[in-house]
Amino acid sequence: QAFFCLLLCIPWGSSCPPSCRCTERAGAKAVLCSSQHLQEIPKDIPRDAVLLKLDANSITRIPSNAFRRLSRLQEIDLSGNAIEHIDRAAFRGVAAGLRSLDLSGNRIRSIPKEALLALRARLRLANNPWHCGCALQELLGEARLDPDSVRDITCHTAPRHEFVGKPLLQALDSGANLCSVPQRSTDVAMLLAMSAWFAMLAAYVICYVRHNRERSRGHREHPRALPGTRGRAE
């Protein structure tokens, strides 16, 4: 952290994106774009940037390959934006070298697991309106979370009402398995469908039996006249 702080103090004379400030120390370059009312990630970030600060802007989405050219990036700060959508290939090209990724204080409800599949960075995900379901449980099981921010990952919505408004860590520590809820719902739906099918089959069998009984009763009540009897009557 001290190394990155030093980057902020030394001006960088080469090209720099508009509305951003660039600094350099010992060949490590930082691009500082904090609080610049940006609505998207700049496309002209220098390829050799190590630190990228995009916090306190109005960015709503991280598109695919947003940082692909920036293979030297070690830290990305996207906190305090309005991010709602993160594409599956958002961090392609930087996943292996990234050390820190701050996504706290946005509007994120869920993140595709593929987006963080190869990510080794320490994640900050606090203060987002998370949907605490199976996808988030699986994601957090594989991600490297910043220990200082784990308790601030709160359930804004959840399949079980008792978890709403509570830290996700508290729900998981209580032994809850969020991935079992959809499975139970599926099992109930299958059981209902099978019950309905058996009910229809039973109704068909009952109607068939009743119809045959009525036909048999009709034959008994109206027997056909024998040929000899009909001749004598004439």
226 lies in a domain? Answer: no
190, exposed or middle or buried, with CB in 10 Å at 0-12, 13-18, 19+? exposed
Give the pLDDT band (50/70/90) at residue 122. very high
189 lies in a domain? Answer: no
**Higher-confidence position of 5 and 35:** 35
Q: How far is CA 115 from the centre of its chain?
A: 10
39-43, 169-173, 194-198, 223-227: range with lowest mean pLDDT: 223-227
55 lies in a domain? Answer: yes
Mean pLDDT of the 168-175 span: 82
Domain that holds residue 62: 21-174
Identify the pLDDT of residue 185. 46
pLDDT, one tens digit per residue, over 133-163 is 999 988 888 889 999 888 899 999 998 888 9
Identify the pLDDT of residue 4. 46
Identify the pLDDT of residue 89. 95
Rounded-to-integer distance, Cα 157 and Cα 168, Å: 11
Domain with residue 164: its CATH number is 3.80.10.10
- What is the 3-state secondary structure of the chain? CHHHHHHCCCECCCCCCCCCEEEEECCEEEEECCCCCCCCCCCCCCCCEEEEECCCCCCCEECCCCCCCCCCCCEEECCCCCCCEECCCCCCCCCCCCCEEECCCCCCCCCCHHHHCCCCCEEECCCCCEECCHHHHHHHHHCEECCCCHHHCEEEECCCHHHCCCEHHHHHHCCCCCCHHHHHHHHHHHHHHHHHHHHHHHHHHHHHHHHHHHHHHHHHHCCCCCHHHHHHHC
Identify the pLDDT of residue 96. 87
**Higher-confidence position of 230 and 89:** 89
Phi, psi (rounded to 5 degrees) for 171: -65, -45
136 lies in a domain? Answer: yes
10 lies in a domain? Answer: no
pTM of the predicted protein model: 0.71
Total structural domains in the chain?
A: 1
